A and B are shown apart, each in its own frame.
Chain A
Amino acid sequence: MTLVLSPEERATASGERGDGAAMAMRIVAETARMLGAPRLIPIASTHIDGALYHGDSGTLFAERLVQGGAKVAVRSTLNVGALDLTGCSRVRLEEPARGMARRMMQAYRQLGCEASWTCAPYQANHRPAAGTDVAWGESNAVVFCNSVLGARTNRYGDFLDIACAISGRAPDYGLHRPENRKATLVFDVSALSADFILSDSAWPVLGSLYGREVGSAIGVIAGVDSHPGEDALKAFGAAAASSGAVGLIHIAGVTPEAPSLSVALDGAKPKQTIAVTARMVDDARRRLSTAQVVDRIDAVAIGSPHLSLAECEALERLLAGRSVIVPIYACTGRHVLAELEKAERRKAMESLGVILVVDTCVVVTPIMPDLRDGVLMTNSGKFAHYAPGNTGYAVVYGSLAECVESAIAGKPVFARLA
């Protein structure tokens, strides 16, 4: 199939609306051509992952767009950056990288993006309606947007997200097309105990297993009796999108495009059914930990994706006024910080040894001390996946309650299995 651009799109690509708009349109068109998309489609919003500093090249690109007079054409929220602009936590990024990271964040603001700085925009009032086409980046946000909100997005990589935002267009392919959103695989969790499904580490562990088993296929989860809550789905999607190339997950009876198993499958027989066993779950949980000897921990990190207000409340409840001897890095967005500051809750948490990390998180930028043989405990499948490569810390995986008790004790404390 050959890509056909509208006369207006062609005019934009050749510079009629300025150099920045032209560059954005050419990037969208070139990607569409590579993917075999026949046309571009209008989009309603974007969520932009591209403002996180990975090196000077991304800053130079964003500034080129600014110099070219580009502005976003649709609502565009920003994912985390490399700096905590609220000053809650100290980022150890040194000059000149620090300055380049700041310039990058500034450039994206100049392009007209909202200073949301969160990987959970869907909990910060950016919730496109079911069935609308959008262009979202950040793998966990993509999964949530498609699966839980029922809006339609592909997994937009850094730079295509801002190019779509400026052009207001996206390639017509993949998950934008209803026929590509049907499940072909069943991930059956009905053999797992109800106690496990209701436990707070069930969904990140299942997500990690799901991503590895399913890869890039679209699956439907069968055997979930009740809605596990948005925070559980957030944790599940984030873990799945870390271990696999997952963009859309249906849960029969829970997510909007899966009122039933057969609707999710479009009435067809699944190509594959994965019957999840307790043993597979145990194995997946074990694989989230990389630490060999666990006689101590150096830090606890929670909030990947960013903590919701409800998750902060759970943390406060579990701490119950007790101080920690190992810091808990609690990563969240400014939408939650604003709430925490209202009743002096931020101060109360910080006085117990919690380090709030806002606008960013501990695996995307250097915040935790540079330790040789550091050990990080987390309840996040996504942190567990990325911490070893990005921070050098080995990982111990545990539930939120185990993370909190361990931070208080300074060594891993695991709840006795019932």
Chain B
Amino acid sequence: MTSRPETLNAHTEVLVPGRAGRGPALVLTAPISFWGGVDARTGRIADVRHPQHGLSIAGTVLFLPGTIGSSSASAVLMELVHAGLAPASLVLHEPDAILLLGLIVAREMNWETPMAVRLPKEDFARFEGQTVAVATEGLISVERT
């Protein structure tokens, strides 16, 4: 089997620092509202109109093509962090002032918090189906299996 090219790795900007993450990449294909769109008790995508409806974001490296809707997204994400159901890391194409507050406040509460990093949207797709690691300085790497 040939080894994967190094270009699969990506250097990102750290939006919110936190714990390094590792998990299966979940690349959402549509923006999501965390409040109403993700079940805070299970981590599952609850929005029936969302293409990834039914999948769990818990423990994944979650690639988010954008967020919509409610200003309670931060509360849902913080609840997921507190309950141990948060994604292992979050990857966004731009800072999200509502959602990422959930991480900023969780850090203030001294809870162990996943990190959020910034990566251009067009780079998301190549991580689909891979197990990836996100290092504290922001490097996303694909794990060789």
Interface set, chain A 1-53, CB cutoff 8 A to B: 23, 26-27, 30-31, 34-36, 49-50, 52
Give the Cβ gap from A328 to chain B, nearest Cβ, in Å.
Answer: 22
Cβ A54 vs Cβ B97 within 8 A: no
Stretch of B18-26, B103-111, B125-133, B137-145 lying at the A interface: B103-111
Interface set, chain A 47-93, CB cutoff 8 A to B: 49-50, 52, 54-58, 60-61, 64
Q: Is the interface of A mostly helix, strand, loop or mixed?
A: helix
Partner of A159, one of B40, B67, B69, B101: B101
Give the Cβ gap from A378 to chain B, nearest Cβ, in Å.
Answer: 14
Give the Cβ gap from A38 to chain B, nearest Cβ, in Å.
Answer: 15
Interface set, chain A 220-253, CB cutoff 8 A to B: 241-245
Cβ A244 vs Cβ B68 within 8 A: yes
A139 to B98 alpha-carbon distance, docked (Å): 11
Cβ B31 vs Cβ A139 within 8 A: no
The size of the chain A interface, using a CB distance under 8 A, is 49
Cβ A55 vs Cβ B40 within 8 A: yes
Cβ A388 vs Cβ B104 within 8 A: no
Q: Is B71 an interface residue (CB 8 A)?
A: yes
Instruction: List the A side residues contacting B68 at CB < 8 Å.
Output: 211, 215, 242-245
Instruction: List the B side residues contacting A23 at CB < 8 Å.
Output: 108
Q: Is B74 an interface residue (CB 8 A)?
A: yes
Cβ B16 vs Cβ A34 within 8 A: yes
Interface set, chain B 77-123, CB cutoff 8 A to A: 78-79, 81-83, 95, 97-102, 104-106, 108-109, 111
Cβ B40 vs Cβ A157 within 8 A: no
Instruction: List the A side residues contacting B105 at CB < 8 Å.
Output: 27, 61, 159
Partner of B71, one of A57, A155, A389: A155
Q: Is A122 an interface residue (CB 8 A)?
A: no
Give the Cβ gap from B63 to chain A, nearest Cβ, in Å.
Answer: 17
Partner of A157, one of B71, B81, B111: B71
A374 to B71 alpha-carbon distance, docked (Å): 27
Instruction: List the A side residues contacting B69 at CB < 8 Å.
Output: 139, 241-243, 245, 385
Cβ B47 vs Cβ A57 within 8 A: no
Looking across the interface, which residue of chain B has its beta carbon closest to that of A138? Answer: B71
Cβ A389 vs Cβ B97 within 8 A: no
Instruction: List the B side residues contacting A138 at CB < 8 Å.
Output: 70-71
Looking across the interface, which residue of chain A has its beta carbon closest to that of B71? Answer: A137
A159 to B71 alpha-carbon distance, docked (Å): 10
Partner of A142, one of B66, B71, B73, B78: B71
Looking across the interface, which residue of chain B has its beta carbon closest to that of A287? Answer: B49
Instruction: Provide a sorted-by-A list of 26 A–B residue pairs whose CB atoms are within 8 angstroms.
Output: A35-B97, A54-B35, A54-B76, A55-B41, A57-B79, A57-B106, A57-B111, A58-B78, A138-B70, A139-B70, A155-B98, A156-B98, A157-B75, A157-B97, A157-B102, A159-B78, A159-B101, A241-B69, A242-B33, A242-B69, A243-B69, A244-B68, A245-B69, A388-B47, A389-B36, A389-B47
B residues near A, CB below 8 A? 15-16, 31, 33, 35-37, 40-41, 46-49, 66-76, 78-79, 81-83, 95, 97-102, 104-106, 108-109, 111
